[in-house]
Amino acid sequence: MNPFTDIPADSVSALGEEKLIAAIRRWLGAASPRAPFGIGDDCAVLAPSRGRQLITVDPVIYGEHFDDTVSPRAAGGKLFKRNLSDIAAMGGRPRAAVVALALDRRVKLTWLEQFYRGLAAISRRHHVPLVGGDIAHHRGGIVATLTLVGEAAAARVVTRTGACVGDSIWVSGALGNSLRSGHHWRFAPRLAEGQWLARRRHVHAMIDLSDGLAKDLRVLAPRGAEAALDSGAIPRRAGATLAAALGEGEDYELVFALADRADRKKFAQAWRKKFPRTRLSCIGRFVRAGARPSSAVNLADYRGFEHLR
């Protein structure tokens, strides 16, 4: 859906601020608790956190993360899920979200309603209330920014650092062809999987794939090491070439390093028992820089998504 209209009566400017906020609360329904625990005061109030807190922020921008081919409901859902995926990558549990919307006054009310209903659906599915936000005018564009706070679900959070030479490299789901297949807004954030992985001490490091395996895996590599990947083991989405699986991005899958001493067979069995519907692939291992076998993929031949280029 194209978000804009030239008919003032159909646009967000028609309602006026007070009625617009009332409409947003109606669209959000049970996803929006009452103030001070939700929308309606200077800040939202949350109960104290039990464990360490997590915080992450990601936007969706019209023309960058969604366009007229993506429904507003899907765009709202994508915004929420991108951030849930970041919490998943630390093995955390999401707690509450706030959304800041910068939008042109010509945005259609129907577009906005479906956008918020998309947010509300994800809020309900994952039991993460939308506790606050802001809406402001921005000539010519739509920038929606969601900040998610969460907390550690296990005794530890899994960070991007901690992988060792010899660790095996694993990935959930399948990669590539995210844009054309609609995976970029259809995906399910790997929250349960991330929490399960955080409870296993053999999981050394983890990241979620947003800019493509070739780029994101460099972040996970230990100092003085590189990834040696088996090209045949890299799980590809239908229609994805190897280059697409390595470089396109927006996969929102988890990649993690597992200790060399872990029993890989038992580990994979335990995963299959817990997550029978989520594919898991061992795609290679970290080796000393320069020690990559000639049969392994040379990641330097592939590029991930580069922002601001």
Question: Which residues contribute to the site for a second copy (CB under 8 A)?
Answer: 12-13, 16-17, 20, 35-36, 40-59, 61, 63-65, 86-87, 89-90, 92, 96, 98-100, 102, 105, 131-141, 143, 145, 147, 149-152, 157, 159-161, 207-208, 306-309
Q: How far apart are CA 74 and CA 184, in angstroms?
A: 10
Instruction: Decide whether 40 or 166 has the Cβ nearer to a second copy.
Output: 40
> From the CB of 207, what's the least distance to a second copy, in Å?
6
Residue pair 175/216 in contact (Cβ under 8 Å)? The answer is no
Q: How far apart are CA 23 and CA 114, in angstroms?
A: 12
Q: How far apart are CA 68 and CA 84, in angstroms?
A: 24
Burial code of 54-68, b = ≥16 C-beta within 10 A, e = fewer?
Answer: bebebbbebeebbee
Instruction: Decide whether 220 or 228 has the Cβ nearer to a second copy.
Output: 220
Instruction: Decide whether 55 or 165 has the Cβ nearer to a second copy.
Output: 55
| Overall size of the chain counted in residues | 309
> From the CB of 131, what's the least distance to a second copy, in Å?
7
Q: How far apart are CA 266 and CA 114, in angstroms?
A: 45
Instruction: Decide whether 152 or 287 has the Cβ nearer to a second copy.
Output: 152
Mention every residue, 6+ apart, whose C-beta is less than 8 A from residue 92.
Answer: 54, 150, 151, 152, 153, 157, 194, 195, 198
> From the CB of 71, what's the least distance to a second copy, in Å?
21
- Both tokens of 8, joined, read 């003032």
> From the CB of 153, what's the least distance to a second copy, in Å?
12
Instruction: Decide whether 87 or 245 has the Cβ nearer to a second copy.
Output: 87
Tell me the β-bridge partners of 286: 227
Instruction: Decide whether 30 or 308 has the Cβ nearer to a second copy.
Output: 308
> From the CB of 89, what's the least distance to a second copy, in Å?
4
> From the CB of 87, what's the least distance to a second copy, in Å?
6
